[in-house]
């Protein structure tokens, strides 16, 4: 009996769903592309629970004939190609006829459609079969409703992300289609709430709705035609960069793509102007003859192949570099900037990095709670904002003494230093080691981390007991590495930078800046890890705008940001404001901190907000530590040395040693006293 089986259409569709429809965003993508191919200029998208529970896409396109409605769910059934020659001249976004068939196979689908001058009809999934065509009520166009995605494929369902992450990915793709189809009006709803809207008023209006109107004055509007390749859109100027690549969009013949040839050409054109972790902003539409490109590369159609990569690379690079370098050809490619369109959305879109001055005449409870000056390109615009919390949130500039304390600048003040972290636990003499509570036995000793679980030794687990022994052994080794610092004799300084201490046959040369920097860093880290976080309110909040991916990242890290001392809240549809920052970092720039935070978006490894904060703590410690060349008094020198508690093996937060040891034997070898 033969072993090769001919798979049924149902199994083939399930397999195909792994490539074509792998996540909710891919359903939205395929349905929007079908609407655009149908000639729609109004598209409405609804999602619920990150698209897992509901996805609905409706349009005012040409609609589907009654006799074609059931056939639309058949595999490889399409109206966009009819012969093999058509594959070489694809001018639509979809053409394989796989989308509806695969969506139907893994979800519950309802299709409602009406053509011009005809009645509307609908088709629903009935069990595992395509239902009958039934009369319906609907305007001209098509509406596809997808419910319970992957309800019959639990293996695929469990690989989906959380609702918020799936929602973020869908939002990201919707914004791409708004930018790539600026003449189409989009309305995008999340769980019944309008999240994004465009009006089909052109690319300027689309960019303003997605990113904010402040982006346009920082961009060149370009239009070029070289080597049968047309390039138009917006690119950031020589000084306008973003912290990650999520602000880069390329559309080829109306299709959003991620292509290495084009992106490399643009990156190389900007290379003379970018610094580390800076990425250009651009929204580019590229048009070329169908016979120069193959879009039939991957089922998701995200990448394409060119007949001649060198022509495409050279054309894109030449156009972008000519504009940035200001060559004679730049005038042929740059279009005179148009007036920045008004943002029609009801959400508040506030320019990031703007300069605001609070209007002292505004009163809490008034209709206009506070007013601000909006400065852009050396011009001042008056704008009013409203906030239910009132102006007190912004004018509280007199925090309590705890908030204003600065442990970094007072680190040499004995009363400001808590040395309990360096004390060893000693059990009472009348108790046995086994009777000591485990949490006391593991009390912070030296550099060991504390264990907060209060479990008596008589009832502890084997794992915890092992950790206890390991920590005690580590503490013993640490104690053995310490020197008898009280027996050291101070012998002076070198170059007002290095402190000399002698003990028996050894001399320790201590870098006063590195030692002080490490002590400040340890103190700030201790406060941070123990939750002793005081916040400093900002007189003028820092406001910044984000895209869909950055917004999702911030929402995932709201709790983490709060724990480390930031108070961040949403301020409009795509903007946030920072109201408070950690008081123990007085020199922290919210703009630089959040720019660096956003630079990590899109990395494969998990981003830890605390790691970025520790970098800022290290920078603060470095700024406030005594510098090399500063003259310290004898009391300051003695205090700094005592605070080291004999630990000469420390390193500064940047990895430099704080101390170098020389022995009498090594010195005598230098002078050839001994061989």
Q: Which of 588, 487, 501, 580 is nearest to 539 (CA)?
A: 580
Matching residue, tokens 């509307």: 120
In the chain, list all ranges with CATH 3.30.1540.20.
482-675
Strand intervals (E) in 377-503: 379-385, 489-494, 498-503
Q: Tell me the torsion sign for CA atoms 223, 229, 234, 239.
A: negative
Q: What is the pLDDT of residues 349-373, one digit of tens each?
A: 333 333 333 333 333 333 333 333 3
- Reduce the DSSP state of residue 37 to 3 states and report it: helix
In the chain, list all ranges with CATH 3.30.565.10.
9-195
Q: Which of 610, 647, 644 is nearest to 417 (CA)?
A: 644
Q: What is the pLDDT of residues 326-347, one digit of tens each?
A: 877 788 888 865 445 555 543 3
In the chain, list all ranges with CATH 3.30.230.10.
203-335
In this structure, what token pair is assigned to residue 83? Answer: 């012969």
Q: What is the pLDDT of residues 154-172, one digit of tens each?
A: 777 777 888 888 998 899 9
Average pLDDT over residues 237-264: 90
Contact 325, 318 (CB under 8 A): no
CATH class of 9-195: alpha beta
Average pLDDT over residues 517-528: 82
- The CA distance from 537 to 557, in Å, is 20
Superfamily of domain 482-675: MutL, C-terminal domain, dimerisation subdomain (3.30.1540.20)
Element (H, E) at 330: helix 330-333
- The CA distance from 149 to 50, in Å, is 11
**450, β-bridge pairs:** none
Average pLDDT over residues 408-432: 40
Contact 127, 34 (CB under 8 A): no
Q: What is the pLDDT of residues 105-148, one digit of tens each?
A: 888 889 999 998 889 999 987 767 777 888 888 889 999 999 98
Phi, then psi, of 259 in degrees rounded to 5: -125, 130
In the 8-state DSSP scheme, what is residue 73? G
pLDDT of residue 176: 92
Which CATH number describes the domain made up of 203-335? 3.30.230.10
In the 8-state DSSP scheme, what is residue 601? T
Contact 121, 134 (CB under 8 A): yes
Strand intervals (E) in 479-638: 489-494, 498-503, 506-511, 535-545, 567-570, 575-582
């Amino acid at each position: 009996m033969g072993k090769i089986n001919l798979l049924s259409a149902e199994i083939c569709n399930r397999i195909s769903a792994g490539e074509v429809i792998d996540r909710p965003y891919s359903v939205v993508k395929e349905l929007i592309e079908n609407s655009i191919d149908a000639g729609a200029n109004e598209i409405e998208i609804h999602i619920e629970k990150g698209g897992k529970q509901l996805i609905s896409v409706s349009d005012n396109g040409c609609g589907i004939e009654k006799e074609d409605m059931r056939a639309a769910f058949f595999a490889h059934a399409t109206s966009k190609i009819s012969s093999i020659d058509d594959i070489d001249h694809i001018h639509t976004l979809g053409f394989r006829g796989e989308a509806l068939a695969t969506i139907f196979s893994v979800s519950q689908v309802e299709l409602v459609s009406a053509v011009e001058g005809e009645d509307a009809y609908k088709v629903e999934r009935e069990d595992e079969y395509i239902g009958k065509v039934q009369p319906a009520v609907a305007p001209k166009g098509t509406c596809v409703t997808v419910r319970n995605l992957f309800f019959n494929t639990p293996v695929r369902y469990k690989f989906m992300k959380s609702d918020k992450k799936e929602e973020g990915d869908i939002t990201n793709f919707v914004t791409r289609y708004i930018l790539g189809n600026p003449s189409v009006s989009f309305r995008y709803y999340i769980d019944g709430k309008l999240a994004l809207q465009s009006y089909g008023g052109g690319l300027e209006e689309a960019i303003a709705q997605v990113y904010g109107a402040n982006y346009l004055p920082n961009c060149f509007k370009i239009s070029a035609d070289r080597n049968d390749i047309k390039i138009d859109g917006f690119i950031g100027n020589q000084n306008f960069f973003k912290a990650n690549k999520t602000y880069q969009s390329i559309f080829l013949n109306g299709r959003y793509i991620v292509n290495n040839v084009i992106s490399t050409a643009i990156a190389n054109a900007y290379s003379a102007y970018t610094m580390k972790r800076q990425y250009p902003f651009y929204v580019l539409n590229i048009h070329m003859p169908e016979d120069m490109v193959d879009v039939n590369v991957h089922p998701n159609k995200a990448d394409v192949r060119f007949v001649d990569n060198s022509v495409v690379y050279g054309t894109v690079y030449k156009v972008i570099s000519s504009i940035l370098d200001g060559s004679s050809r730049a005038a042929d490619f740059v279009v005179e900037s148009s007036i920045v369109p008004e943002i029609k959305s009801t959400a508040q879109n506030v320019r990031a990095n703007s300069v605001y001055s609070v209007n002292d005449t505004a009163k809490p409870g008034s209709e206009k709670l506070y007013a601000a000056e909006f400065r852009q390109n050396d011009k001042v615009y008056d704008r009013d904002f409203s906030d239910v919390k009132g102006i007190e949130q912004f004018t509280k500039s007199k925090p309590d003494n705890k908030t204003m304390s600065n442990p970094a600048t007072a680190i040499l003040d004995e009363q400001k230093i808590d040395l309990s972290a360096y004390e060893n636990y000693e059990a009472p003499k009348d108790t046995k080691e086994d009777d000591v509570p485990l949490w006391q036995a593991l009390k912070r000793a030296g550099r060991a981390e504390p264990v907060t679980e209060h479990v008596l030794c008589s009832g502890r687990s084997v794992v915890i007991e092992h950790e206890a022994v390991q920590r005690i052994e580590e503490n013993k080794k640490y104690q053995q590495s310490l020197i008898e610092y009280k027996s050291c004799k101070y012998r002076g300084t070198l170059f007002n930078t290095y402190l000399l201490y002698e003990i028996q046959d050894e001399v320790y040369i201590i870098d006063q800046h590195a030692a002080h920097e490490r002590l400040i860093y340890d103190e700030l880290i201790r406060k941070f890890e123990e939750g002793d976080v005081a916040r400093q309110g900002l007189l003028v909040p820092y406001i910044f705008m984000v895209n869909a991916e950055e917004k999702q990242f911030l929402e995932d890290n709201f709790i983490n940001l709060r724990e480390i001392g930031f108070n961040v809240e949403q301020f409009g549809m795509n903007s946030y404001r920072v109201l408070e920052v950690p008081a123990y970092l007085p020199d922290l720039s919210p703009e630089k901190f959040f720019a660096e935070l956003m630079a990590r978006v899109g990395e494969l490894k998990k981003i830890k907000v605390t790691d970025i904060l520790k970098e800022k703590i290290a920078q603060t410690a470095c700024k406030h530590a005594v510098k090399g060349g500063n003259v310290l008094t004898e009391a300051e020198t003695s205090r700094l040395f005592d605070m080291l508690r004999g630990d000469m093996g420390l390193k500064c937060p940047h990895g430099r040693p704080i101390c170098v040891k020389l022995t009498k034997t090594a010195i005598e070898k230098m002078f050839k006293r001994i061989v």
